[in-house]
Amino acid sequence: MSIQFHVQRNPNPLSQAQREAVLKNPVFGQYRTDHQVVCVWEKDKGWISAEVIPYGPIQMDPAAAVLHYGQEVFEGIKAYRWADGSIWTFRPHENARRLQLSARRLALPEVPEELFVESLRQLIAVDAAWVPEPAEEKTLYIRPFEIAAEDFLGVRAAQRVEYRVIASPVGPYFSGGIKPIAIWIALQSARAGRYGTGEAKTGGNYASSLLAQTEGNDNGCSQVMFLDAQTGTCIEELGGMNLFFVFKDGRVATPMLDGTILRGITRKSLIELMQDRGIEVQERKISLDEVRAGIASGAITESFACGTAAVITPIGQFKSFSETLSLPASGSEPLSLSLREELTAIQYGRAEDRHGWMHRLG
């Protein structure tokens, strides 16, 4: 590592009793740890500093470019505590490379892979006590992000950028646990267009999903499903997850990566786990009409959402103002649940890591 981290410990961390109270029921997204990472990049100088500092607000000029033009990218990755107390993360080099892909699209500097992985290690070194015990799907959700911190109101790629990492102890993403969720079909709202930023993990994609997400929430759905912007006929992904369809004949299909969909690491891993089982997984265009017909005829037996936050969550219904497509109540051994068990067993160190996906952080 060419860049050395400077560590400034939080003089006022939460007490052990306060922390333990949080870790009893870590509602997704609600809590933070005691520290954060901040690395600074300047044009012509590159990455000039790397620090671990107490968690707290960012001091930023109101003219900082990120606040006006949304020049921002982020990642989501979890730390898992194993039964022996050690702390691990899942495929961090994949997240590092995706952050670089996102950064290129948003004209932000690339965080070197080794700096990305080291930043996770540094945060865990001071906040290890925040990684929950391995029960009830508890983990430490880590959020690395890059922001255009330069104060300049002209529109151009920022010349001063911050890379930060914060962390949040979490339980399941959906409060109802692993019950099938209802999905709202976004018929009048697109998330990503051709040559747009759909493949990048950038705030704007999420901001543009919120109107449809809110409409979905108001209609009893917990996620929104976007169709391709060009024809409005093919399924792309959910607001914060990829999705799969399981066919009666054993095949599985997921929308192909065509530049408008996030290259989900859970998606990629599930494809590999299914292929290990000899399941044929197709990455292809899937139209809403095919899903409508498949559910009506019984050809589609199951659908599930996947992502770091959601892990794998079965889908019970797809809904819009004009229709409700209901999947059959899952049989005795739905694929989604057996994949969920297999994946989480690897992540929590209960099963052999035959692909070498796990990376020790502490």
Q: Is 222 in the site for ligand COI (CB under 6 A)?
A: no
Q: Which residue number places its CB atom closest to ligand COI?
A: 76
Q: Are 148 and 61 in contact (CB under 8 A)?
A: no
Q: Which is nearer to ligand COI, 76 or 112 (CB)?
A: 76
Is 76 a binder of ligand COI (CB under 6 A)?
yes
Q: Where are the alpha helices (DSSP H) in the chain?
A: 16-24, 65-69, 92-105, 113-127, 203-207, 210-218, 265-276, 288-297, 335-347
Do residues 339 and 270 lie in contact, with contact meaning Cβ atoms separated by under 8 Å?
yes
CA distance 243 to 147: 29
202: partner contacted, choices ligand COI, ligand PLP, none (Cβ within 5-8 A by kind) = none
* Structure-token match 């449809």, residue found: 212
For residue 309, state whether it binds ligand COI (rule: CB under 6 A).
yes
**Which of ligand PLP, ligand COI, none does 64 bind, CB closer than 5 to 8 A by kind?**
none
- 240: contact with ligand PLP by CB under 6 A: yes
The site partner of 139 among ligand PLP, ligand COI, none (C-beta below 5 to 8 Å per kind) is none
Query: Which residues are within 8 A (CB) of 288 and not within 5 positions of it... i.e. 6 or more apart?
Result: 185, 227, 233, 234, 235
56-115 binders of ligand PLP (CB under 6 A) = 76
Of 214 and 233, the one with the shorter C-beta distance to ligand COI is 214
Rule CB under 6 A: say whether 26 interacts with ligand COI.
Answer: no
Please report whether residue 118 would count as binding ligand PLP according to CB under 6 A.
no
DSSP code for 130:
G
Tell me if 144 contacts ligand COI by CB under 6 A: no
Say which residue the tokens 């990684």 belong to. 131
Point out which span in 4-12, 156-164, 207-215, 304-312 binds ligand COI (CB under 6 A): 304-312
**Residues with Cβ within 8 Å of residue 145, at least 6 apart in sequence:** 72, 73, 74, 75, 163, 164, 165, 166
Figure out which of the listed residues 144, 204, 307, 334 binds ligand COI, where binding follows CB under 6 A.
Answer: 307
Applying the rule CB under 6 A, the residues between 269 and 308 that interact with ligand PLP are: 307-308
92 or 264: CB nearest ligand PLP? 264
Does 262 sit near ligand PLP (CB under 6 A)? yes
- At closest approach, how far in Å is the CB of 237 from ligand PLP? 5
237 binds ligand PLP (CB under 6 A): yes
- Nearest to residue 242, comparing CAs of 200, 304, 198? 304
Phi first, then psi, for residue 217 (nearest 5°) are: -55, -45
Question: CB-side exposure of 359: number of CA atoms within 13 Å?
Answer: 18
The residue whose two tokens read 């599985």 is 252
52 φ/ψ angles, rounded to the nearest 5 degrees: -110, 125
Tokens of 254: 């997921």
* Interaction of residue 308 with ligand COI, rule CB under 6 A: yes
Stretch that binds ligand COI, among 63-71, 112-120, 294-302, 303-311 (CB under 6 A): 303-311
Q: Write down the least CB distance from residue 331 to ligand PLP, Å.
A: 25
Cα–Cα distance list, 45 to 48, 160, 161 (Å): 7, 10, 11
Residue 342 interaction partner, one of ligand COI, ligand PLP, none, beta carbon < 5-8 Å per kind: none
Binding piece for ligand COI, criterion CB under 6 A, among 62-70, 98-106, 272-280, 302-310: 302-310
Q: Does 208 bind ligand PLP (CB under 6 A)?
A: no
**Contact window for ligand COI (CB under 6 A) among 89-97, 107-115, 176-184, 301-309:** 301-309
For residue 162 the two structure tokens come to 């911050």
Residue 176 C-beta: closest distance to ligand COI, Å: 15
In whole angstroms, what is the distance from residue 3 CA to residue 50 CA?
A: 7
- Residue 61 CA to residue 357 CA, distance in Å, equals 40
Pick the closest to residue 133 from 168, 92, 87 (CA basis): 87
Which residues in this chain contact ligand COI in the complex, by CB under 6 A?
Answer: 76, 240, 307-309
Interacting residue ranges for ligand PLP, rule: CB under 6 A: 76, 237, 240-242, 262, 264-267, 307-308
